């Protein structure tokens, strides 16, 4: 990966991570009794941040091949674009139809 692009993505990811409201997500997960990997309770905010960081690292590996890349797990989606844009989503419900 181009060094300039990697720096831009990492900088934008840090900003997006800082702006993301993990407390709200934690409250939603607790309310829904949402757990990971057979845990007895919702993940902590620290565990969620670590998950999102791992997803980002996975996503940036393929961004130059397609212009964008994403990685998802545990309700979180991290999408990175060759333009430098970084998106972090927490998705409770989703549906897609391909025809």
In a domain, 61, yes or no: yes
In a domain, 45, yes or no: yes
In a domain, 34, yes or no: yes
| Tens of pLDDT, residues 5-37 | 999 999 999 999 999 999 999 999 999 999 998
Tokens of 17: 């991570």
Range of the domain at 85: 3-90
In a domain, 99, yes or no: no
Task: Output 56 or 98, whichever has higher pLDDT.
Answer: 56
Whether 36 contacts 76, CB under 8 Å? no
Distances (CA, A) of 94 to 12, 36, 39, 75: 26, 18, 23, 10
Instruction: Give pLDDT, residue 59.
Output: 95
Separation of alpha carbons 70 and 88, rounded Å: 10
Query: Interior CA angle at 85 toward 80 and 88, to 5°?
Result: 60
Instruction: Give pLDDT, residue 27.
Output: 96
Whether 74 contacts 38, CB under 8 Å? no
In a domain, 28, yes or no: yes
In a domain, 98, yes or no: no
| Number of domains the chain is built from | 1
In a domain, 49, yes or no: yes
Beta bridge partners of residue 76, listed in sequence order:
73, 90
| Tens of pLDDT, residues 29-81 | 999 999 998 889 999 999 999 999 999 999 999 888 889 999 999 999 999 99
> Distance from first CA to last CA of the chain, Å, rounded?
34
In a domain, 95, yes or no: no
Instruction: Give pLDDT, residue 58.
Output: 95
Task: Output 25 or 94, whichever has higher pLDDT.
Answer: 25
Beta bridge partners of residue 71, listed in sequence order:
78
């Amino acid at each position: 990966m181009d060094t300039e692009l990697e720096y831009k993505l990492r900088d934008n990811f840090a900003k997006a991570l800082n702006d993301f409201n993990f407390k709200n997500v934690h409250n939603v997960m607790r309310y829904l009794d949402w757990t990971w990997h057979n845990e007895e309770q919702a993940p902590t905010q620290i565990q969620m941040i670590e998950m999102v960081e791992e997803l980002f690292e996975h996503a940036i590996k393929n961004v130059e091949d397609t212009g964008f890349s994403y990685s998802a797990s545990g309700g979180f989606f991290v999408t990175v674009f060759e333009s430098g844009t970084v998106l972090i989503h927490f998705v409770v419900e989703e549906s897609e139809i391909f025809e």
